[in-house]
Structure 1
């Protein structure tokens, strides 16, 4: 049986924490920042943990069992 390949896009966007949770970055923080408030940009800068509803899907993309 062939190896299962990790999704390259997911590999770049998600990372594991020490406890096994999956970290993600917030969207809307890469461009068109002039119209966003300082508070909004500051809050988008923090790392978030993925929601439990998406956990299985992301783990399959990362080839984690």
Structure 2
């Protein structure tokens, strides 16, 4: 059986937490920040957990995570 390849784009975006869930960054914090409130920007800085319906697809992309 050959080795499975990791999708490098996914490897740069996701990581596994201590409990085994998959963490991701939130969107909308790259540019055009001047009109967003400080509270909104602070909330967008935090990491989020990938939804359980999407987690199966992410795990297929990252076989050795």
TM-score, normalising length from structure 1? 0.90
Following TM superposition, by how much is the alpha carbon of 1:4 offset from its aligned partner in structure 2, in angstroms? Answer: 1.2
Trace 1:47-58 onto structure 2 (pairs within 5 A): 47-58=47-58
1:3 is displaced (CA, Å) by 1.7
After TM superposition, what 4+ stretches of structure 1 lie above 2 angstroms from structure 2? none
Distance 2:53 2:2 in 1: 29
Q: Which residue of 2 aligns with 1:14?
A: 14
Q: Which has the higher helix share?
A: 2
- Segments of 5+ residues of structure 2 without an aligned counterpart are none
For the aligned residue pairs, the C-alpha RMSD in angstroms reads 1.5
TM-score by length of 2: 0.90
Alpha-carbon shift at residue 47 of structure 1 (Å): 0.6
